[in-house]
Structure formats: structure tokens, C-alpha cells
Amino acid sequence: MLEHAFMQRALVAALGIGVVCGALGFFVVLRRLAFVGVGISHAAVGGVALGLLLGVPPLAAGGAFGVAVALGIATVGRSSRLGQDTVIGVFFSGAMALGLVLASAGRGGQQDLFAYLFGNVLAIGPSELLGLGALAALVAAGLATTFRAQLFIAFDEELARAYGHKVGALDALLLVLLALTVVIGVRLVGVLLVEALLVVPAATAALWATHYRARLALSIALGAGAGALGLAVAWQLDLAVGATVALVAVVGFFTSLGLRRA
């Protein structure tokens, strides 16, 4: 498999994406933000479709759109009387509908959009790999810089506020990092399945580890493992890479669940 340069790039991308998704997934599971991740990932469809229509890099457009939606969810969710799940549902359905309308308006847009819905890691070129690496480093830096504060908020938001942490700003930052991570993961598993890498490895880690450090390390390892193993299985059996990666992660979760109950 690794005799081919495109597979070498795909493996590096799969490992990197798995690491970033596993790290951020730790907070997604800990703070019960799985539905937020679904909303942001599906909302990114609008940005990708807009990029395809305007002839700009789709992932850049999807990232900008995802960040805008994340900030919109954070702002409207806190300032309105509606619950956050309702606000997410509005943004999610509106952005997804916008993406499909834009895709139907452009010639061949639906076919191009399809690749971003389900991922195409085998098509990653050297320059795009560097771009994804830089974006992953940015997410990792943002997470590392605010890790203790984010952890404090996850366990006791009111106490964190009393200690002077800017909870609203940190919440918004976490959603922005989530949006950027969605953009990173789109290339491997696509918009529709990126949530699997954000939730499943961290959920599996939560079955085995109770201390936050062990859980974070295991989540990162499982994310990277799912990416690499899914890519290898897809290569051997000639399957869709994104769906195989997601399925490997899910199988790992249910296997762990069965072993923990045995």
C-alpha cells in the first residue's frame, strides 16, 4: 500500500486527522456537544457549495462558513430564549439547504459536492496536505493554550465563571476549533461522517479510562488508529475510505462496550 506516494499522503492525513479529532472529541463528549458537532459539520456544506460555485477553494470556504455558523450558534444560543438544540437545528437545516440549492445552481456542482460529503483522502496533494497540517497545528495550539480553562468549564461552569474565566468567549472558541476540525476531517471521512471521528473514539476512551489525562491520550490514539486501520482495510477490500474509517471506529466502540459489560 505504501509503495504509492498518494497512499503515503493519505496515511499521514488519516493519522493527523485522527489525532486532531480525537483530541477535540475529548471535549465534545465531556461537554455533551455531539449535536453541536453534527450541526456545524452539516452547515459546512453551505460553505463548500459556495466555494465550488464561486471557484474558490471549497475547504477554505467551508471553514469560513463553519466558523461563522459556530459563532452564530454561540451568540444566538446565549442571547435568545430558545434552547441551544433549537438554534443548532435552525442553522443546520438552513445551511444544509443553502448548500444543496447552490450545488444545483452550478453546472456539475452536485457531483463535486458529493466528494466533500463522503470524503476523498486519496486525492490529497502535497500542497493540500501541508495546508491541512497547518490547520491541524492551529487547532492543537488553540486547544493546548486553553486546555485547563476548558477542562474547568467542562466540570463546573459556574465555578469557572466565579474564578474569572470568560466562559462565553471560551465556549465560542471551542466551537470555532470544532468548525476548523470539521474542515480538517472532511477530506478523510466527508461532511456526513466527520462526526464519527469527533465522537466515537472519545466515547470509546470514556469506557476504559476515568482520569482525564488517560481518557484524552486514549481518545487521540483511537482516533489515529481508526484513521490508519480504516485506510488499510479500505485499500485491501477496495471500499470507500471515509465510510470504512467511520465503521472501524464504531466497531471498536461496540467491541469495547461488549468487553466492559462481560
Can you give the three-state secondary structure of 91-131, one letter per residue?
Answer: HHHHHHHHHHHHHHHCCCHHHHHHHHHHCCHHHCCHHHHHH
Residue with the larger pLDDT of the pair 186 and 203: 203
Intra-chain end-to-end CA distance of the chain, in Å: 37
The pLDDT value given to residue 226 = 93
pLDDT at 110 over 70: no
Averaged pLDDT score across all residues of the chain: 85
Band (89; pLDDT cuts 50, 70, 90): confident
Mean of the pLDDT values across residues 186-214?
Answer: 87
Instruction: Give pLDDT, residue 32.
Output: 85
pLDDT at 196 over 70: yes
C-alpha grid cell for residue 3?
509503495
Topology of domain 5-261 in CATH is: ABC transporter involved in vitamin B12 uptake, BtuC (1.10.3470)
pLDDT at 228: 93
pLDDT: which is higher, 231 or 63:
231
Q: In the structure, what pLDDT confidence band is assigned to residue 262 with cuts at 50, 70 and 90?
A: low
* pLDDT tens figures, 158-191: 888 888 888 888 888 998 898 888 888 887 787 7
pLDDT band at residue 106 under the 50/70/90 scheme? low
Residue 113 confidence (pLDDT) = 73
The span from the CA of 131 to the CA of 202, in Å, is 25
Residue 107: pLDDT band by 50, 70, 90 thresholds?
low
pLDDT attached to residue 261: 80
pLDDT of residue 217: 96
Instruction: Work out the percent of the chain whose per-residue pLDDT is above 90.
Output: 31
What are the DSSP E strand ranges found in 124-191?
none
**Quick one: pLDDT at residue 143?**
92
Q: Is the dihedral of CA 238, 243, 245, 247 positive or negative?
A: negative
Cell numbers 465510510 correspond to what residue? 243
Phi then psi dihedrals of residue 209, to 5 deg? -125, 145
How distant is the alpha carbon of residue 148 from its chain centre? 21
Residue of 49, 77, 78 lying closest to 64 (CA atoms)? 49
- pLDDT given at position 215: 94
Tell me the mean pLDDT in the region 65-83. Answer: 77
Highest mean pLDDT among 1-5, 188-192, 247-251: 247-251
pLDDT higher at 147 or 78: 147
- Find, among 82, 87, 101, the residue nearest to 40 by Cα: 87
pLDDT tens profile 113-159: 777 777 778 888 888 888 888 888 999 999 999 999 999 888 888 88
Amino acid code (one letter) for 7: M
Q: What is the DSSP string of 231-246?
A: HHHHHHHT--HHHHHH
CA distance 39 to 92: 5
| CB-CB contact of 241 with 188 (8 Å) | yes
Question: Taking phi first (over 0 means left), then psi (-120 to 50 degrees means alpha), and beta for anything else, what does residue 108 get?
Answer: left
Cβ atoms 224, 19 nearer than 8 A: yes
